Structure 1
Amino acid sequence: MTLIPYALVRRSARLLAPLRYLVAHGWLREASVDAVLAFLHPAWRLNRVFALLSARRWVADDMLALTLLPNGNWRGAQAGQHIQAYLQVAGVRLSRSYSLTALNLDGSLEIAIKRHPGGRLSNRLLDHLAIGDAIEVGEPFGELHWPQQADSVLLLAAGSGLTPLLGLLRHALQKGFSAPVEVLHYVRDAGQLAFAHELQALQQQYRNLRVRPMLSSQLGRFAPEHVRASSATAVLSCGPSGFVAAVQQWWGDTAATTPLQFESFSPPILTGETAHSPLLMRFARAQQEVLGDSSSSLLQQAEAAGLRPAHGCRQGICASCTCLLLSGAVRDLRSGAVLSEPGQAIRLCVSVPLGDVVVDI
C-alpha cells in the first residue's frame, strides 16, 4: 500500500527543489531523502527516475511488452532511443538496455523484452515484475532517427532488432509521414514475429506501409534478392551483428549516397584478420597491469582481470562504458577506426587494443 498517490509523485519534481538544494550543499544525504520518499511511494526519488509498471502483454511467443509510467524526474525521450533498466536482486544491481517501442501521449513508455535462456534481468522482469511494481530506468540514448526527407524508407530487422525500428515507425506514421515504407522482419518461425497483429493493423491503416514477415526457416537469412525490388532511398537496420554486417555489405554494393543507419544488439564480430599478439594493459585508476591480447574487447579483458568498470548495453550504443585512452591505440569494432590520441574518449565494450595501452579505469 502506498501512502502518496502516484499522480502527486509525478507532479512533485519542482516541489522537491528545496531538498535538492539542501543535498547539494551537504545539509542532507540524498540516500536518506530517497529512503523516506520510497517509503511514501516505491517510485518516488529525489533525482533518480523510477517507473511504475502499468501494463504487460505478450507480443510474441518469447517477447513481452511492458508499459511504464515514469516519475516526475523523467525528462522525455525520442523515438528510436533506448533506456537502461535497473533492478536490485539479492543485493546485486542488474541492468540491461531495452529499446523504446512506444512513447505515449499520457507520458508512459513501452519497452519489449525478449526471453533469453540464462538472462538474469530479462527473465526476472518477464516472470516476476507485476503491475504496480517500480523499476529504475536511466537516461535515454541512441542515435537512430527517422529519415524525414526520404522518398521511400526500408526497415530491415532481425529478431528483437524490430523494437527500435517499431518505435520510429509508429512515431513517423503518427506525424504524417506519407512516403512508401517497407518493413522486413527476419525471425526463425512465425511465433517469433513480434507485434505482428499491430503491424498488420498499421498496414491496413496506412496505405503507404508494407510489412513482410521473413521466416528464415523458409527463406534463409538476409540476401540481396529479398530487397532487389526495393526503391528505398533510406535504410535502417537493427539485429545481431552478423545480420547488420550483411545489410551493410548489400547497401555498400548498391553505391547508395545515403548512409545506412544501423544498430547491432550483439557485440561486433572479431574478424580472422585480428591479431592475437600478447600486450600489456594498464588500468590507471585501479593501478593494475595485466597481460592481454588483441582478440577481445577492453571491457571483456578488464572483467577477466577482476575489475568491474561501468557498462550497459555492451554494444557501443549507450556510452556507459566510456573512458579515456591515456596512451596506446585501439580499434573501434563498429567502424574499424583506429583511435590513438591521448585523452580521447573510447567505449570499452567495442574497443580492442592494438598494442600496449593505458586506459583511465
Structure 2
Amino acid sequence: MKAFPFVYHNPKEYWEYFQPKNWLEFLLEEINPTFSLSTVKAKVMEIRSESSDSKTIVLRTNRHWKGFVAGQHLPVTVEIAGRRVTRFYSLSSSPSEKYPTITVKKQKGGLVSNFINERLKVGDVVELGTASGDFVLEKEVPNKLLFIAGGSGITPIHSILKTLQESNYKGQAKLLYFSRFKEDIILFSSFCELESKCPWLEIKHVLTDVPAEGFDSGFLTKEMLNAFVPDLSERPVYLCGPAPLQNSAKELLKGNKVISELFLLPNQIQTNFESTGPKEVVLLQSHKTVLLKGEKSILEELEDQGIYPPSGCRMGICHTCSCKKVSGSVTNMQNQSISDGGEENIQLCLSRADEKLELDL
C-alpha cells in the first residue's frame, strides 16, 4: 500500500494529511488511481511517437474534466522520484475528440519532458489542472488566417486546425512551420492528412538546420512571408514558438494583428548570479535556518539542501511555490525587480535571496 508522501517537513503539511477529506482522497486512490473527490486525473491510454524527440499522450480523464478550447494549455502533474512536479503543455487534440491529447517535445535538461518521453507508459495516471489561455480563435473566425510556428509551438495550432476542419471552415488558412530538420517535424503525418482533406489549408515546412529535398530551408524573412502570403496584410496571425522566432516575426508583422503565445522554459530564466556571500534564511514553520548563496532561485537552493517546498512549473506561471516572505529582500530573476524588506508573497522559483530572509515555510 502506498505511503503518504511526507517529503517536505512542514508541520502544517503533516496536519493536512490527517484531515478527513485527505484520508478519503487517499482511500479513493487506493481503489482506483483515477478516483478523486475533485481532482482531474487521467489514465494514459496510448503513446504515439510524433518526431525524433516528441510523443503524443492520449488521456482518458475522470468525471471532473471540464474540457478546453482549441489552443489552450493546462498544467500536467507527474510524480518523479517521490516528488510531484508540474509543467504546462498545450492540448494537441480538438476539444470534440473523445480523449484529449498533449504532445510533448523533449527539452535539454527538461525534467518532466524527458520523463514523459522516456518513462511514462500506458496505464500510468497523471493529474491535470484547468485548461486556460487566450491563444484561441475569435468567435467570428476570419475568412483568412496565417499561422506561424516553431518547434513544439505547433501543438496548439494543430488543435486549432483540427477544430476548423470539424467546423467545415470555408475560409483560407496558411501555416508556416519551422523545424530544425525533417525528422524534427512534430505531427508531420497528421498535418499531411489535414492538408490533403482540407482544400482551404496550405502548409509550408521550413528546415532551419539541415536542408532536405522537398522542403524549404532558412529562417523567417520578409521575402519568405511575401512569397508565401501575398495578401499578408489581410490576415490576422497566430504565432507560437521560441523567443527568437517570435521576436523576428513580430518585427516583420508590425502591420498585422498578432496573437501570440510564448512559454519560458525553466532553463531560460537566468539563474547563474554571482554570490555576494551566504544569506541566512529562516524557515519559520519548520523551525530551520539555512545558508543560501544567492546564486540560484531560493527554490533550487533549498532543494540543494534537501528541503522540498511545494513546486510546480518552476517558471513563474502556476504559483504553486508561492509563499509569504516575512522579512528581507529578494530579487525577481525574471524582471530583475527588487522587493522591499516587508511582508509579501513571493514565488520561490523566481526569487533569489539578497539578504537575511524569514519565510513562512
Q: Same fold (TM over 0.5)?
A: yes
CA contact (8 A) 2:73 2:88 kept: no
Query: Pick from 57, 60, 64: which aligns with 1:69?
Result: 60
C-alpha change, 1:258 and 1:246, in structure 2 (3 Å) is: same
C-alpha change, 1:269 and 1:47, in structure 2 (3 Å) is: closer
C-alpha change, 1:260 and 1:98, in structure 2 (3 Å) is: closer
Deviation at 1:121, TM superposition (A): 5.1
- Match for 2:104: what amino acid? I
- 1:164-179 matches, within 5 Å, as 164-175=156-167
- Match for 1:216: what amino acid? T
Distance 1:164 1:353 in 2: 36
* SS of 1:101 mapped into structure 2: coil
Number of residues paired by the alignment?
A: 326
Distance 1:96 1:246 in 2: 22
Instruction: State the partner residue of 2:101.
Output: 110
Distance 1:244 1:106 in 2: 31
* SS of 1:303 mapped into structure 2: helix
C-alpha change, 1:359 and 1:159, in structure 2 (3 Å) is: farther
Summarize deviations over 1:88-113 as a string: whole Å, max 9, x none: 65x45455443321245365211123
C-alpha change, 1:166 and 1:88, in structure 2 (3 Å) is: same
Query: Pick from 112, 123, 126: which aligns with 1:136?
Result: 126
* SS of 2:154 mapped into structure 1: helix
CA contact (8 A) 2:34 2:42 kept: yes
Distance 2:161 2:175 in 1: 9
Deviation at 1:291, TM superposition (A): 4.2
RMSD across aligned positions (CA): 4.0
C-alpha change, 1:28 and 1:235, in structure 2 (3 Å) is: closer
Distance 2:80 2:167 in 1: 38
Instruction: State the partner residue of 2:225.
Output: 227
Distance 1:181 1:211 in 2: 9
Deviation at 1:135, TM superposition (A): 0.5
Instruction: State the partner residue of 1:57.
Output: 48
Distance 2:338 2:169 in 1: 39
* SS of 1:198 mapped into structure 2: helix
Deviation at 1:69, TM superposition (A): 0.9
Summarize deviations over 1:105-155 as a string: whole Å, max 9, x none: 365211123345776655554456554x14131313542422416755443
* SS of 2:42 mapped into structure 1: strand
Distance 1:145 1:260 in 2: 7
Instruction: State the partner residue of 2:321.
Output: 321
Instruction: State the partner residue of 2:193.
Output: 201
Distance 1:153 1:283 in 2: 54
CA contact (8 A) 1:325 1:360 kept: yes
* SS of 2:194 mapped into structure 1: helix
**Which range is displaced more, 188-197 or 219-228?**
219-228
**Which range is displaced more, 113-122 or 55-64?**
113-122
CA contact (8 A) 2:292 2:353 kept: no
* SS of 1:76 mapped into structure 2: coil
* SS of 2:135 mapped into structure 1: coil
Summarize deviations over 1:296-353 as a string: whole Å, max 9, x none: 44433443454323222233333333344555353462xx373647655544434556
**TM-score (ref. length: structure 2):** 0.71
Greater relative contact order structure (CA < 8 Å, 6+ sep): 2
**TM-score (ref. length: structure 1):** 0.71
Deviation at 1:195, TM superposition (A): 1.0
